[in-house]
């Protein structure tokens, strides 16, 4: 597979495999249950969710427990992660491809992206915003590191692999029909349900 950016190659390769073992735990699943019960609280009971950058499905597992019967789909660039994801939600519900190359044949009530936009090459963000918007019939849930102005951060010894900015604000500026429904913050030092300092924004069409 040919990739458009260095960041795609980074996550499709060995670093993406290492990420799997760091983030596949019962503790994270519990934290995700708490997280999504808050972040999607204003969305009532969504019937379907597509996740951009699903990895092995820790977010989708939590959503399936919260909303039995929900229709799930995951897009994942790393082949090892996508194979494991398929065992959770079914091969037909997994797209093993770059987000840039994904084309939404089916729309979902919620487009979800969590801890992924921060790793996207900034020059390609508008492409990802378009994919998120087009795949959703009602909601977009953005869960990322927030910063009011774009900044680049060193990521585990790698440069140009982590970018913080106001992703949700940029989405609302790009699509005038999007409105902010709810937002919140999850803290890494939370004694019960820690997350990775994620600010989440629930947007509605």
pLDDT in tens, 51-101: 999 999 999 999 999 999 999 999 999 999 999 999 999 999 999 999 999
The pLDDT score that the predictor gives to residue 91 is 96
Q: Is residue 1 part of a domain?
A: no
Phi, psi at 13, each rounded to 5° = -95, -150
The count of structural domains within the chain is: 1
How do residues 130-143 score in pLDDT, each as one tens digit? 999 999 999 999 99
Residue 143 lies in a domain: yes
Is 200 inside any structural domain? Answer: yes
Residue 13 forms part of a structural domain:
yes
The answer as to whether 18 is a domain residue is yes
Classify residue 179: in a domain, yes or no.
yes
C-alpha to C-alpha distance for 144 and 174, rounded to whole angstroms: 18
Q: Which domain CATH number covers 115?
A: 3.40.50.150
Q: Which tens digit of pLDDT belongs to each residue from 151-160?
A: 988 766 656 6
Domain containing 121: what range?
A: 6-204
């Amino acid at each position: 597979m040919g990739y458009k950016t260095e960041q795609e190659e980074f996550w499709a390769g060995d670093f993406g495999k290492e990420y799997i073992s760091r983030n596949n735990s019962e503790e994270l699943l519990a934290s995700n249950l708490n997280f999504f019960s808050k972040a999607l609280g204003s969305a009532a009971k969504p019937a379907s969710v597509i996740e951009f950058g699903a990895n092995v499905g820790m977010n989708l597992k939590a959503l399936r427990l919260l909303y039995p019967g929900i229709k799930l789909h995951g897009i994942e660039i790393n082949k090892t992660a996508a194979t494991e994801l398929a065992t959770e939600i079914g091969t037909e519900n997994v797209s093993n491809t770059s987000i840039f190359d994904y084309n939404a044949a089916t729309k979902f009530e919620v487009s979800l992206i969590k801890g992924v936009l921060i790793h996207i090459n900034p020059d390609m963000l508008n492409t990802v915003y378009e994919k998120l918007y087009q795949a959703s019939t009602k909601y977009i849930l953005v869960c990322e590191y927030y910063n009011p102005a774009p900044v680049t951060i060193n990521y585990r010894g790698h440069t140009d692999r982590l970018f913080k900015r106001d992703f949700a604000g940029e989405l609302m500026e790009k699509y005038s029909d999007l409105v902010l429904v709810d937002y919140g913050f999850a803290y890494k030092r939370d004694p019960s349900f820690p997350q990775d300092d994620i600010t989440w924004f629930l947007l509605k069409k």
